[in-house]
Structure 1
């Protein structure tokens, strides 16, 4: 394993967050800039990132489908159940839904692909892409409800949410993968170029959000540190025995553990912004989780793989 690849990914994320922070402090843009950028990412760049990621898949042969299904069940079904139990045994907190959201969605889209490729090689990326499609579908459906958990308002999915660009892109990506649909190289290049904007823009949004607050508030308080440790270390250790029992293919075991060890998905800040949740808490947890993961990902790999 090349530890420097992991460290490099974390540093890239952190630097772009700092850029967003500087932009926010410069007052070059309106106070609504982060909300407008959130809409842009959720409705355009992220859906195209989802589609372009599956268009890059050229081979769906030799896939251990049973193990992939077990991995998806662990990551997309059991992880939310564990997250629900965790938030309900916590002392009284206001943002149960936001915490549950952060526990449920690791940063597969940006960090998962390069980190797993550096450890397991390119042959592992197809499996990651299939798992990521399941995550994306969950993110834009279940995630919409989860982030509101604990509020007095009734949790329900609207037709608008079910037909959101993120859901439609996830469904389209699954159809493309199943039926081996080919598209012109020009269409792929356009989708890929726009989709590649997702991560830097999301990181800038996090930095811009943090710029609204005093630095003391960003690093003050224990709750974000506790959640980050739970996500980066406790969750992969908790699921390790079940993964060892259910998943037979060694590569799929490794992929599943690495995904569980990834820091919080940057999408949490976008969704917190969109749903009027505590965006400061979301942004600071993402930041702290990324910083911790420089140490915790190599540690989890050494302990569990």
Structure 2
């Protein structure tokens, strides 16, 4: 198997001043990429900020013999995002890889969550993924090449107490990915999602130290390299942590046709509930919303001709 290399590629990693983003950036640099290290340098709740963390990672990359620049823009600020893109193009002339990794937490039970807690988390995680990708999209189209990674979470996929805001944003990036895998296909733009479990600033205090010791952020990065390589997949959700990897998918049961007209009642649906929710019979994952619709009409056709 040949080595995975990124020679001649230019990569932007957001939230790369520490944790997962730093590990992704360093590994890309080791494998030949030129880097833009974006980090606002804020606290976990999004307050404060300075460029020291990003500059430190740039120095690490330079010590490896690589090339990198720092950018302190907020991914939730439109002008800041455009500056990040402009700085990249001015220095390197292209954008091949963008890993949307920046994140914050405002954990509270739903009844205690404020509108500010909701808005800020969605701004950073969802809009903070959408805006950099949108700003780089036409550049990648013109190049006929792009590799994108969004960062989802088990909270978005499965839920977690006290993180309704975070979960909504993290599942939102999967919805964006599912559309962009379709729109980017003709221009060789591929997009995937990583669902990491790692010991970072955002997970300190949430798990026992013995568990955190196994969840080094660098144990996630090898999977991410496979999501941005030349022959990467597209539209895949990769779960990664402690050196273990799996693929997460949204699937549907085989389902059932219940009826039309007077025959279609709540009671009729209830009578077929076990068949509708029978997880022993699932369909292959749909590749688009259109396939989902086609499946519904296939159920109708099968049911009305039986």
Q: What TM-score do the two structures reach when normalised by structure 2?
A: 0.30
Structure holding more strand per residue? 2
Structure holding more helix per residue? 1
Query: Which structure is richer in relative contact order (CA contacts within 8 A, separation 6 or more)?
Result: 1
